[in-house]
Chains A and B, each alone.
Chain A
Amino acid sequence: MADQADPKSQTPNSQSGDNRPALALHVPEPKFRPGDKADFSDIDIGEPGAVPRPDENADPGDMRDLAYGLVRVLGDDNKAHGPWDPKLDPETLRTMLGHMALTRAFDERMFRGQRQGKTSFYMKCTGEEATSIASSMALASDDMVFPSYRQQGILIARGYSLLEMINQIYSNKGDKLKGRQLPIMYSSREHSFFSISGNLATQTPQAVGWAMASAIKGDSRIAATWVGEGSTAEGDFHSACTFAAVYNAPVILNVINNQWAISSFSGFAGAERTTFAARALGYGLAGLRVDGNDALACYAAQRWAANRARANQGPTLIEYFTYRAEGHSTSDDPSGYRSAQEREEWPLGDPVKRLKDHLIAIGEWDEERQEKMDREAAERVKKTTKEAEKNGILGHGLHHPFHTMFEDVFEELPWHLQEQAEQATHERITKFGKERPFG
């Protein structure tokens, strides 16, 4: 990182006029750009099973190395290795794989739907399924989650209705959020899933606050939040770490390091110098760094942190080292800024394939059953999509009545919003006449 001063701007000491050397600004640059051959051989991924598993009551100061290592369970032999093996029964593993298959099928269909003009926007989580599905399965179903925008896997793992999800994505008349939110900004109180914000990292101090409230009340539920590595640069994340540490809040801070924040690589959040798990150390938090494409490792780490929080041993920051296999969103084209090869060359593979291969290796699964599972997932999504389309797609009129735009700004409608609601209704009648069947 010892940058040479840019020769073009090398007019030494033109400002100060003395003999001090010219300073140079370092602007991070990813290793590969479009057309480059991706080579990740310099990334040290360690050996599966090699990282020790400290006691859940361990002092953060005694486990600092874990912030720089990589917790891995699944090996190249597709077997589970070492102390972090959560030793899940085959039925649970098959359920996990099922959630992952469904999430992938859902992403495929919704992405296509956006391309077909059924909605404005969609975000896939391809390659990152384990970080939400396996992790949330390690929590109790009523532990409160404060996700970012790429954790649809949590809703699927918690059994949220696909129809509700698609209604939300279509912003149609069936959307329980009344068409107010950008697609994928779900909310489900019933599933202890917090309303997703489009503003990054704001959910992190909120999760800490929820956890503090749970502790104030002597409750037994904990909170967990998910945030991308890019948005750990937000002040909110640092407030969250400070408050979590100060009040020993029963919270898990999950950082999904998928290497890319739209077109900015993780170096713009500080990854050239240290790991994201190491952010924990300065705050005195427990920090774990985990293979985010290893469903068993994700589960084990989240369970470790959950047990720790539940025992009043405090918060944990977990970095999931993974890769965003697709674009940031339907509005993004990654071929414009990164090497197309990165996805295939990623040294930690694909999380769905790795879990499938593990189940096959332990004699609990086979390719036929996998094909059937994938087919059924695709059919289920297709059928539900058709059902959702009966409620309308974005921009095709079947939205909520105009008056709902003014509701819920406050608990009660104040006079100024009442006046504006009347104006909106008036404009609708002017444009469409009174016979239009919905308001």
Chain B
Amino acid sequence: MSAETKEQEAQAGTERRVNMIEAINEALDIMLERDPDVIVMGEDVGYFGGVFRCTAGLQEKHGKTRVFDTPISECGIIGVAVGMGAYGLRPVPEIQFADYIYPGLDQLISEAARLRYRSATEYIAPMTVRSPFGGGIFGGQTHSQSPESLFTHVSGLKTVIPSTPYDAKGLLISCIEDNDPVIFFEPKRIYNGPFSGFYDKPVEPWKKHDQSIVPEGYYKIPLGEARTVREGEALTVLAYGTMVHVAEAVCREKGVDAEILDLRTLVPLDIEAIETSVKKTGRCLIVHEATRTSGFGSELSALVTERCFYHLEAPVERVTGFDTPYPHSLEWAYFPGPVRIGEAIDKILSE
């Protein structure tokens, strides 16, 4: 849907507004309808519709052999998805929490990601692994992690992270149609509404946010394209997932004229958008919730330094989670919130 259409609909009050769960559910529903080779499977996704409700109603509508529950075995879920892909299906497995994905890593890294290459295109693994990730819901250390950099490090995997209902639907449809294996991380803190990072303020529902206006039917957002959340001159902020909203809120609060890029796809990365923006502003802040050391921010920082060094007026800054497990009671002390982001912005702008 074009920006004009959106605006027209908004003015007419006829627009549909959905949250991210509903947007994901719609994408799955549409793809199950359009492509008989798409199947959805995972723990609790069938009759019950998923612990976050992303697959609600899909089994009833599309049948038990298209949408079904699986044993509690991430190794098995990814392993059978590789075999299904070799057959010609397009599996969309759900891993209930990103924290649970590790038993499936060998099947993802050594098998799904390498299959096209090692068989010289005889076999491919066109699967989209959906998984809720990130913290901010008091999930403790096993329901809060952001393991995206484990996957961006693997050749042959694409990693996609939406930050809005509109993007979630369009990106997920692109992922399912993509012939490469894709990790699709859903920031669960913003399933029901964008999050400013001010955890003591009331939760704002998606309905109040423009990006919750989602067309009913099929549309795609291409992988590898960042979204400019807001244009600005003072500095470039690179973020994805929940942190897009936190960074935006902090910049708004501080009145900083930041240019915020929502990367949306980490691999393949929209390097052009990053380069163009940083060369324009001369300053760059990278924000992610994941642990700091060898996080995706390290890659971004290196790329920006390699490509934009002579345009930089201040060192590139990273704001991240701490290098600790995600603590339960000290969740908000861990979370890279407004204070950490605000101080980093001050530092960059003071150079």
Contacts and interface: CB of A to CB of B under 8 A. Distances in A.
Interface of A: 144, 146, 176-178, 180-181, 185, 187-189, 194-195, 197, 199, 202, 204-217, 223, 235-236, 239-240, 242-243, 246, 408-411, 414-416
Contact of B111 (A187, A206, A408, A410): A206
Given A195-B123, A213-B87, A242-B73, A202 B106 contact: yes
A64 to B, nearest CB: 23
Contact of B83 (A181, A212, A410, A415): A212
B79 A236 contact: yes
Contacts of B124: 411
Contacts of B224: 414
Interface in B67-91: 70-71, 73, 75-76, 79-89, 91
Nearest to A223: B83
Given A242-B71, A414-B268, A415-B271, A208 B118 contact: no
A181 B118 CA distance: 6
B71 A180 contact: no
Contacts of B155: 409
Interface of B: 39, 65-66, 70-71, 73, 75-76, 79-89, 91, 103, 106-107, 110-111, 115-124, 155-156, 158, 178-180, 224, 267-269, 271
B117 A205 contact: no
Closest 7 CB pairs of A and B: A209-B83, A205-B79, A209-B80, A239-B76, A213-B87, A206-B83, A414-B268
A216 B178 CA distance: 21
A211 B83 contact: yes
Contacts of B103: 235
B25 to A, nearest CB: 21
Contact of B122 (A195, A202, A214): A195
11 contacts: A178-B120, A187-B122, A205-B79, A206-B86, A209-B80, A213-B84, A236-B107, A243-B70, A243-B80, A246-B70, A416-B271
A28 B179 CA distance: 46
Nearest to A208: B80
Contact of B76 (A180, A240, A408): A240
Contacts of A414: 224, 267-268
Contacts of B268: 410, 414-416
Contacts of A199: 106, 110-111
A207 B85 CA distance: 11
Contact of B75 (A195, A213, A235, A408): A235
Given A177-B120, A180-B117, A213 B83 contact: yes
